[in-house]
Chain A
Amino acid sequence: MSAVITANGLGKRYKTALALDNVSFQVEPGRIVGLIGPNGAGKTTALKAILGLTDFSGELNVLGFDPRRQRDRLMGEVCFIADVAVLPRWIRVCEVVDFVAHVHPRFDRRKCEAFLVRTKLQPNQRVRQMSKGMIVQLHLALVMAIDAKLLILDEPTLGLDILYRKQFYQSLLEDYFDENKTIIVTTHQVEEVEHILTDLMFIRDGRIVLDADMDAVGERYIEVMVNADRAEAARALKPLDERQVFGKSIFLFDGVERAQLEAMGETRRPSISDLFVATMKGTYA
């Protein structure tokens, strides 16, 4: 199967800053890709380019379409939740369902209604009367009822409480995702998506600094807990990061032989957040 997204040398310059600097990557179908980066790293710009919401230089192919020229057709295959709470505030639940049902050829009304029944949303309720969490529920209900090949989520759970956040990702996994679909998600709440991602992309200053599937990440990055007496030896192997916990040192290594590390102490797979912090060191300095 061919790639869902193929990007080649993407560039985008705003007046003051370079948002995308010659970025190339590929996304295969059936993946859940986490696009992670600090504020202003170019995440949203990359997503906007994929969605044809902004102009850019370079080559980009999304599901066989050029987002710049074939946006209308592309949007029949792609869904996105951009940020939280962008549903128009005046619209009612029944109106938005009606509207999407009539303009989107891949919308399954029954599926949407079945999802809405499980929430507290009332058909006559307006978006402006809803909490942030409920708005996201409504948006998710709409999006999940659309049989799209690619779903793009830009900070979908920002500002939601933990119940809504958990429910959001759980619904996505249980009721939406399958091998024919691809999801790209950006978020700062890395811990919450960690276990659902199949692929990881780190972006920093408009460049992709890490692009690997989670298995490869587990192979490549290893965390070792080392007693103080062996810390010097560990430091000699040039760890990415070092931190102290209960008198022991935890080192994060990139591409060092596992056997060598196991000899020094207990090894484990680093969490994405630790990996992220280590990779992005000095970003704001």
Chain B
Amino acid sequence: MNTFLWLVKREFWEHRGGFLRAPIITAAIFLLLNLMGIVTSEVMGRRMGFMGFAGGGNNLHLLARELDKQSMEAVGAGLDLVMYSSTAIIGIVLGFVVFFYCLGALYDDRRDRSILFWKSLPISDTATVLSKVVSATVVAPLIAVIVGALTGIVMLLMFAITLSLHGVSVWHLLSLSHPVQVIANLIGSIPLYVLWALPTVGWLMLCSAWARSKPFLWAVALPVALGIVIGWFNLLGTVNISDAWYWRSVVARILGSVFPGGWFSQVTGVGGDNPAEMLSSLGVLRGYTAMGSLNLWVGVAAAIAMLAGAIWFRRWRDDS
């Protein structure tokens, strides 16, 4: 187990840029843009004498006082949404990071021949591949969630300070939000992310372990080409495989499932009329109903097979 921990650590050392710096830079840009937005609305509001985003302190003051229970809930949900939004953007970046990480995980060291060094150590290929899977599906998302949650909190504070400059007691407003719940929701989603992302991780790592060159091309071109062929046969009317089914249930699952939240496609009744309803429909417990879907488990099974293939290729591919 100790060895495994160090293997994961090694992945982190090598991919600090993608795992740690990418979410932090995204967060910084996100915060900067928001700050610019706040400053713009302040300046515009003052210049035009018009209630901008945070202008018109009196109105807001009234607003804060006269909130009834239902709108308080809506405000709280809105604030939660603000916190989720930073994580959502970081989540998209995470998807790209994990995608390219998996694609290079078992290929880059073959290309630069450093595989010969790794293979000179008493480490099994299974442990190597699994440590990369864990790095992709647990370590990277965990860092993204932590950075995302911190960003969300910083953003709330930014709004709070802006509003307090206008004499609104925003601490009251802020107390309507649920930061702990937001963070718990996000961290709680990671196990679901592992299961959902596995087919993509498995497919990309299989290509990464197998391709002699250009793993990206193989990973993308192969399923797309197959899709085109299926489409063509459909046109001819000789094969009865649904195009739409193939693209949605195969291509999207083996290429796109590293983007977080995809499992909601397997959850019914997502949406709502107001932020609160919307949010609760996207809650973590709701997400876990995806575990009742066949799609998810077929994906996991396929992923296990593909990862076994990746391990086999890692052991026997001889091109260094």
Q: Which positions in A face B, CB cutoff 8 Å? A: 48, 51, 53-55, 71-73, 75-76, 79-83, 86-92, 95, 98-100, 102-105, 139
What is the CB-to-nearest-CB distance from A53 to chain B, in angstroms, rounded to a whole number? 6
Given A90-B14, A99-B6, A103-B7, A72-B124 contact (CB < 8 Å): yes
Top 3 closest pairs, chain A to chain B, by CB: A88-B114, A76-B122, A75-B122
Residues 94-129 of chain B, each 1 if its beta carbon lies under 8 Å from chain A, else 0:
000000000000000100111111111111100000
B53 interfacial by beta-carbon distance below 8 Å: no
B122 and A103 contacting across the interface, CB-CB below 8 Å: yes
B3 and A89 contacting across the interface, CB-CB below 8 Å: no
Interface residues in B283-320 (C-beta closer than 8 Å to A) = 315-316, 318, 320
B233 interfacial by beta-carbon distance below 8 Å: no
A71 partner residues in chain B, CB cutoff 8 A: 315
B46 interfacial by beta-carbon distance below 8 Å: no
A75 and B120 contacting across the interface, CB-CB below 8 Å: yes
A90 partner residues in chain B, CB cutoff 8 A: 13-14
| A75 and B123 alpha carbons, distance in the complex (Å) | 8
B117 and A75 contacting across the interface, CB-CB below 8 Å: no
| A103 and B2 alpha carbons, distance in the complex (Å) | 8
| A103 and B121 alpha carbons, distance in the complex (Å) | 8
| A73 and B2 alpha carbons, distance in the complex (Å) | 17
B122 and A105 contacting across the interface, CB-CB below 8 Å: yes
B112 and A103 contacting across the interface, CB-CB below 8 Å: no
What is the CB-to-nearest-CB distance from A224 to chain B, in angstroms, rounded to a whole number? 44
Residues 148-190 of chain B, each 1 if its beta carbon lies under 8 Å from chain A, else 0:
0000000000000000000000000000000000000000000
Interface size on B, residues (CB 8 A): 26
Residues 1-43 of chain B, each 1 if its beta carbon lies under 8 Å from chain A, else 0:
0110011011001100000000000000000000000000000
B320 partner residues in chain A, CB cutoff 8 A: 53
Of A55, A73, A89, A103, the contact of B318 (CB 8 Å cutoff): A55
Chain A residue with the shortest CB-CB distance to B316: A55
| A203 and B273 alpha carbons, distance in the complex (Å) | 79
What is the CB-to-nearest-CB distance from A66 to chain B, in angstroms, rounded to a whole number? 14
Of B13, B109, B116, B123, the contact of A95 (CB 8 Å cutoff): B13
Chain B residue with the shortest CB-CB distance to A88: B114
B113 partner residues in chain A, CB cutoff 8 A: 82-83, 86
Of B3, B112, B115, B318, the contact of A54 (CB 8 Å cutoff): B318
What is the CB-to-nearest-CB distance from A160 to chain B, in angstroms, rounded to a whole number? 17
A99 partner residues in chain B, CB cutoff 8 A: 6, 9-10
What is the CB-to-nearest-CB distance from A282 to chain B, in angstroms, rounded to a whole number? 30
| A86 and B7 alpha carbons, distance in the complex (Å) | 18
| A87 and B116 alpha carbons, distance in the complex (Å) | 8
| A86 and B123 alpha carbons, distance in the complex (Å) | 17
Please indicate which of the listed interface residues A76, A80, A83, A99 has the most CB atoms of chain B within 10 Å of its own CB: A99
Please indicate which of the listed interface residues B113, B116, B123, B318 has the most CB atoms of chain A within 10 Å of its own CB: B116
A105 partner residues in chain B, CB cutoff 8 A: 122
Of A48, A55, A79, A87, the contact of B114 (CB 8 Å cutoff): A87
What is the CB-to-nearest-CB distance from B208 to chain A, in angstroms, rounded to a whole number? 16
